[in-house]
Structure 1
């Protein structure tokens, strides 16, 4: 009886890599952009003038362990 309960009824379909790859690349780019703004958008490597982005992400930067002072 235990063999019947543990036997799968339906086999999972394989994931189509061709359909997932564009979304994976997009998610990777978004994560890299977010990582840049959280970690390096301050001082010499800043793309935007002023400290608005730094101040907006300041607490998140400290929460993730990035120094900024």
Structure 2
């Protein structure tokens, strides 16, 4: 009983894997038309023409820079 059950499960799994490999709706990459992507639009000006402040992510990570950033994050007492 157990051997026939295991053989049946093995046969069913092989049939399912074989049928899932053949897809008639699949199209080859060579048949697809290739179009270039549209250009990315410019970002909207939300600062009202003002210059953006220095980005801290572009600064070099050093002890003095880290100390300055930590002091800026501290609440004023």
- Fold match, TM over 0.5? no
TM-score w.r.t. the length of structure 1 is 0.30
Structure with greater helix percent: 1
TM-score w.r.t. the length of structure 2 is 0.28
**Higher RCO (CA-CA < 8 Å; seq separation 6+):** 1
